[in-house]
Amino acid sequence: MIYKRSSALFAEAQKVIPGGVNSPVRAFKAVGGDPIFVKEAKGAYLYDEDGNRLIDYINSWGPMILGHAHPRVVEAVIDKAKKGTSFGMPTEIETQIAELAVAMVPNVDKIRFVNSGTEACMSAVRLARGYTGKDKIIKFAGCYHGHSDSFLIQAGSGAVTFGSPNSPGVTKGTAQDTLLARYNDLDHVEHIITSNKGEIACIIIEPVAGNMGCIPPVKGFLEGLRALCSANDILLIFDEVMTGFRLAKGGAQELLGIDADIITFGKVIGGGLPVGAFAAREEIMNYLAPLGPVYQAGTLSGNPLAMAAGLAMLTELNSNSEIFKSLADKTEYLHKGIAKELKAHKIIHTINRLGSMISVHFTEDAILDFESAAQGNNETFKKFFHGMLDNGIYIAPSAFETWFITDALTYKDLDETIEAVGKVAKTL
């Protein structure tokens, strides 16, 4: 495929935008080469600036469950835009989407809308700290909760229980309140809690990790976290920015049967517009201003265009009882097809999958946490990524990302993808 115009646009962008992108992973740093500039998208396909058609497995990193430019979502946004794009005042549609979201998600009475997943997670942690009167939080290595200071903490020798910042600009003071645990390792979490008795406000986790590839929780892990939280007066925050309204109507809580105390959302809940949200039981949410002492605000929060897109999206998902099963079936079909091709060409691999989330890792070991995800052969991944791209298939430009399956994908698209895997596997 030819990417001449994309490369020219990237060169221009780099003059005025740091690295030419407004979010780092878009820059293809992990895989090399110039990023592709999108012109438009419809259903399961992206059309780039050079006129190439690509089958899209990223879907804006999750939200396009119904496919790109879904007519109901687009119409809702156009209708609203004609009536004004922002007021900074209450509107009826905010209550309508809140009512629907609260009805779909277990364990929540109230929800507040923000503008991104980052804001949702940042606000949820502040609320947990305010509510419990404690400062420390536990997060898991390899889980991403946005780019707010408390979350930019990495594991490493000496930093297993006391985090050290992995971005300049995050202060030591902030870093030391974030304790790092290993995903799927309950004993490690218990050890951290015991060594910080009475100091931990919350545990924040992606109930199905999606930011180190797709890593489902092992049996008993989330149940164990729930029990540890309840026994130690710690709030359990499920970051459902990826899993919310994707794995089931009620997200991972519903699919896995675990109750969290605060749930964060993003992406999906805005139908592709910039939206995030966090929700909890009434007594926790009432701690927020203007009712309670924990401050949290936003000029564009509850923006009418974003609410219209989100309401259209959630209404579609809520009225289609088959969609989550159909997505999971397509993902299973893709899994089996990819595995068959990679096996036929003797390519060492492991595929992780849950619902409509899937990732391919070039290692034969089980991928259970950040360390095991990091064992994947990145050189093979780079070749795989570029090979798939040359065959018109767009997967995330990093081995640490999940592929997201959309309802717009047909079995013909899946077959085209599997065939491409076969062709690329020959070259690996």
Distance CA 267, CA 102 (A): 17
Out of 239, 369, 407, 413, which one is annotated catalytic? 239
Asked if 384 contacts 428 with a C-beta cutoff of 8 angstroms, the reply is: yes
Out of 80, 134, 139, 267, which one is annotated catalytic? 267
Binding status of residue 242 toward ligand PMP by CB under 6 A: yes
Binding to ligand PMP in span 15-74, by CB under 6 A: 61
Report the residue from 35, 146, 271, 397 that binds ligand PMP according to the rule CB under 6 A. Answer: 146
Binding status of residue 272 toward ligand PMP by CB under 6 A: no
Binding status of residue 144 toward ligand PMP by CB under 6 A: yes
Rank residues 139 and 349 by Cβ distance to ligand PMP and give the closer one.
139
According to DSSP H, which parts of 169-281 are helical? 172-175, 186-195, 221-231, 251-256
Asked if 120 contacts 278 with a C-beta cutoff of 8 angstroms, the reply is: yes
Binding to ligand PMP in span 88-107, by CB under 6 A: none
Sign of CA dihedral 89, 92, 94, 99: positive
In whole angstroms, the minimum distance from the beta carbon of 127 to ligand PMP comes to 16
Binding to ligand PMP in span 361-390, by CB under 6 A: none
For residue 373, the number of C-alpha atoms closer than 13 Å in the C-beta half-sphere is 25
In whole angstroms, the minimum distance from the beta carbon of 411 to ligand PMP comes to 28
Rank residues 276 and 310 by Cβ distance to ligand PMP and give the closer one.
276
Report the residue from 118, 178, 184, 391 that binds ligand PMP according to the rule CB under 6 A. Answer: 118
> Could you write out the DSSP letters of every residue in 243-271?
TTTTTSTTHHHHHHT---SEEEEEGGGGT
Binding status of residue 211 toward ligand PMP by CB under 6 A: yes
What's the N-to-C CA distance of the chain in angstroms? 19
In whole angstroms, the minimum distance from the beta carbon of 169 to ligand PMP comes to 17
Asked if 284 contacts 127 with a C-beta cutoff of 8 angstroms, the reply is: yes
Binding status of residue 246 toward ligand PMP by CB under 6 A: no
In whole angstroms, the minimum distance from the beta carbon of 211 to ligand PMP comes to 5
3-state SS, residue 98: helix
In whole angstroms, the minimum distance from the beta carbon of 4 to ligand PMP comes to 30
- Which residues are bridge partners to 357 per DSSP? 354, 404
Rank residues 67 and 244 by Cβ distance to ligand PMP and give the closer one.
244
Burial (CB < 10 A; 0-12, 13-18, 19+), residue 194, is exposed
For residue 198, the number of C-alpha atoms closer than 13 Å in the C-beta half-sphere is 0
Binding status of residue 123 toward ligand PMP by CB under 6 A: no
Q: How far is CA 394 from CA 36, 55, 283, 284, in A?
A: 10, 6, 44, 41
Q: How far is CA 59 from CA 56, 140, 270, in A?
A: 6, 25, 13
Report the residue from 6, 52, 107, 116 that binds ligand PMP according to the rule CB under 6 A. Answer: 116
Which residue, 253, 204, 261, 283, is CA-closest to 106?
A: 253
In whole angstroms, the minimum distance from the beta carbon of 252 to ligand PMP comes to 11
Sign of CA dihedral 115, 307, 78, 244: positive
Let me know if 267 is a catalytic residue. yes
Binding status of residue 145 toward ligand PMP by CB under 6 A: yes
Rank residues 23 and 157 by Cβ distance to ligand PMP and give the closer one.
23
For ligand PMP (CB under 6 A), the number of binding residues is 16
Rank residues 298 and 422 by Cβ distance to ligand PMP and give the closer one.
298
Report the residue from 35, 43, 250, 266 that binds ligand PMP according to the rule CB under 6 A. Answer: 266
Let me know if 365 is a catalytic residue. no
Out of 45, 144, 287, 394, which one is annotated catalytic? 144
Burial (CB < 10 A; 0-12, 13-18, 19+), residue 376, is buried
Please give the distance of CA 168 from its chain centroid, rounded to a whole number: 24
The length of the chain is 428
Residue number with the shortest CB distance to ligand PMP?
117
3-state SS, residue 189: helix
Let me know if 239 is a catalytic residue. yes
Determine the interface stretch with ligand PMP among 29-37, 140-148, 347-355, 411-419 (rule: CB under 6 A).
140-148
Report the residue from 35, 43, 67, 210 that binds ligand PMP according to the rule CB under 6 A. Answer: 210
Residues forming the active site = 144, 239, 267
Residues within the interface to ligand PMP (CB under 6 A): 61, 116-118, 121, 144-146, 206, 210-211, 239, 241-242, 266, 276
